[in-house]
Chain A
């Protein structure tokens, strides 16, 4: 097998394995499916161009999430128009596409209402299956800060969803 084909195989493996999780992560990060697709395309384009740098396939998930977060941050280096309005578009779109139940809708809206500093660790826990330590490493944060943010995010969601979580 030649070198280029071997790299292509590695790339296809990455797409197959991580496109779903990264797509979900990008949608909930940006609140807009179109923007999420743009970011994901850029992410995989950059990943492909640097595929030779990826020596350890087990480290790929973290590597891809790092690229994706950088791509997302680039959006904010530019002036954005009406960022707040975009959330509604996602909710409407979701509602039409999946005819989700009322509670599911409420949960989706509640997630989007969370501040991004709370939403992101939560997504890494639920979508990527990361532990507190892994989230802390990925976000370059102290583990205690991560756990506090996770706690606050979930408490907010529990209150909205009428789950008591009382002491």
Chain B
């Protein structure tokens, strides 16, 4: 059997190249290999096609265009047609000055996970608001065990969870259905390089932190959300392992 055709029969049994088709016609062994390869493709296709996105997830995908702004290309007429070197230069200095200030601010807060939790909550607000799933206890515990904790029972108000990164530290982000909005819960492994405040807030969010064995638990909600009930709920449900 020609080795090149043998490789094609396995890797691409639907190949329509004339010389390959002719070889198949002339060589029953090669034809049998091609048939087996086609059968494997069908089995694979059948295995893959068993996976279907859920209706709820599909709705979520469709909903994205209603929740998030599109980046519109500006019509040609709106585009700037003339360069103004002095204005551009002044703008550059302005941007540089602002950037430096922001950089300094970020640098000062770089190692504070409380600040990061507030900005992460604002950043994830879009997904937190549209998520409405009921993650299984098994799947949440599967992730939580990496942080030395387990849930003793299912949390009825848990609507979403995901692994995320806090300043390079892997953590777990849970979203609870709160009374005023969504409540974000972060489980972060303890790390001496980072500081954490017991209570913290920003313009729209506030949060509390507590220790949880070898991890920190940060709870962040909108400013008018009372966080104590969620602290209590999680204290009752989480067990160190």
Query: Which positions in A face B, CB cutoff 8 Å?
Result: 3-4, 7-8, 11-12, 15, 19-20, 23-24, 27-28, 34-35, 37-38, 40-41, 44-45, 48-53, 78-82, 89, 94, 98, 100, 104, 107-108, 111, 122-123, 125-127, 131-132, 147-148, 150-151, 154-155, 157-158, 161, 163-167
* Cβ contact within 8 Å between A20 and B52: yes
The answer to whether the Cβ of B36 comes within 8 Å of any Cβ in the partner chain is yes
Alpha-carbon separation in the docked complex, A40 to B142 (Å): 21
Per the 8 Å Cβ criterion, residues 166-192 of B in contact with A are 168-170
- When C-beta atoms are compared, the residue in chain A nearest to B165 turns out to be A78
* Cβ contact within 8 Å between A150 and B11: yes
* Cβ contact within 8 Å between A40 and B12: no
* Cβ contact within 8 Å between B40 and A34: no
State whether A40 and B6 are in contact (beta carbons under 8 Å apart), knowing that A34-B162, A49-B68, A82-B146 are contacts in the complex.
no
- When C-beta atoms are compared, the residue in chain A nearest to B2 turns out to be A167
State whether A79 and B165 are in contact (beta carbons under 8 Å apart), knowing that A12-B62, A51-B70 are contacts in the complex.
yes
* Cβ contact within 8 Å between B139 and A34: yes
Which segment, of B41-49, B102-110, B150-158, B199-207, faces chain A? B41-49
The answer to whether the Cβ of B72 comes within 8 Å of any Cβ in the partner chain is yes
Distance (whole angstroms) from the CB of A164 to the closest CB of chain B: 7
Query: Which positions in B face A, CB cutoff 8 Å?
Result: 1, 6-8, 10-12, 29, 33, 36-37, 39-41, 43-53, 57-58, 60-62, 64-66, 68-73, 127, 135, 139, 142, 146, 161-163, 165, 168-170
Alpha-carbon separation in the docked complex, A104 to B50 (Å): 11
* Cβ contact within 8 Å between A48 and B40: no
Known pairs A7-B65, A49-B71. 18 more at Cβ < 8 A?
A: A3-B72, A11-B65, A20-B53, A24-B51, A34-B161, A41-B64, A49-B69, A79-B169, A81-B146, A82-B146, A125-B12, A126-B48, A147-B7, A148-B7, A154-B37, A157-B40, A161-B40, A164-B36
B70: A residues at CB distance < 8 A: 4, 7, 48-49, 51-52
* Cβ contact within 8 Å between A123 and B48: yes
A167: which of B6, B46, B51 is its contact (CB, 8 Å)? B6
A52: which of B65, B73, B146 is its contact (CB, 8 Å)? B73
A107: B residues at CB distance < 8 A: 43-44, 47
Distance (whole angstroms) from the CB of B143 to the closest CB of chain A: 8
B72: A residues at CB distance < 8 A: 3, 52
